[in-house]
Amino acid sequence: MHPSSPKGRNKGLPYGIQGDHRKNFPGIPQPPIVYNAALHMWEPHSTPLKALTSALSEQLNDITETAVGERLDTVKKNDSSYTNVLYHPADRILMISEFEPYLSAVARTYNRNLIVVSPCAENAQHWNLIWSTTCRIPVLARWSTGRQDDLKPIILGFLPLYNESSARKGLWYVIKPYGPRAEEWITLWKR
């Protein structure tokens, strides 16, 4: 359970849905989803690799964790195959996970873009605010690092680990639809 889920919100103070106030840039759209905690489930995974493998396997046949892991190792060895720069200019002020650039690059090798649903942490002081019951920062969907918006997307969730801003470590999830738009999601983005 994460703090922005319906169950998580019930444990603390009411958490209203935050609006998306990011600046628009002509020709560079935001991701084709609007995150709403009531309409999305977060499926936890023990590692970023497991989350990526699970998301890919829902859209592609014959995906194994071993094969995805091999591509991940290749990406990590090749500095030119990934970037730490977020695709959308309005998001470039946000902190990202230490693992995200690799996940994005591996997703591209499978002809997929990566959308990440995560808190809008602009600095180390914001890193822990998703766990606060009094001053939470918004959780939004954003494009990941590198080239995006040209392939079918997969969607992962990332929540920062408390007091891990210097290492940029966190928890990884697969984001799945819940509620009235679930059927539309399945029609558009599954196999």
| Window from 6-15, 21-30, 69-78 with minimum mean pLDDT | 6-15
- For residues 173 and 20, what is the distance between their CA atoms, to the nearest angstrom? 21
142 domain-assigned: yes
What residues make up the domain containing 106? Answer: 38-189
What is the pLDDT at residue 178? 82
- How large is the average pLDDT for residues 136-154? 90
C-alpha distances (whole Å) from 69 to each of 48, 52, 75 are: 10, 10, 10
What is residue 85's three-state secondary structure? coil
The per-residue pLDDT for range 19-72, each reduced to its tens digit, is 567 788 888 888 888 888 888 899 999 999 999 999 999 999 999 999 999 999
Q: Is position 7 within any domain? A: no
In this structure, what CATH number is given to the domain that contains residue 87? 3.90.70
> Does residue 12 carry a pLDDT above 60?
no
pLDDT digits (tens, 9 = 90+) for 152-176: 999 999 999 988 888 888 999 999 8
In a domain, 6, yes or no: no
pLDDT of residue 104: 96
Q: How far apart are alpha carbons 10 and 62 in whole angstroms?
A: 39
Cα–chain center distance at 96: 10
Contact by Cβ (8 Å): 101, 82: yes
Give the residue-averaged pLDDT of 8-15: 46
In sequence order, what are the residues at sequence separation of 6 or more whose Cβ sits closer than 8 angstroms to the Cβ of residue 153? 31, 32, 112, 113, 114, 115, 189
Residue 52 lies in a domain: yes
Task: State how many domains the chain has.
Answer: 1
Residue 66 burial class via C-beta count within 10 angstroms: exposed 0-12, middle 13-18, buried 19 and up: exposed
Asked which of 7-16, 31-40, 91-100, 147-156 is least confident by mean pLDDT, the reply is: 7-16
- Residue 136, pLDDT > 70, answer yes
- Residue 127 domain-assigned (yes or no): yes
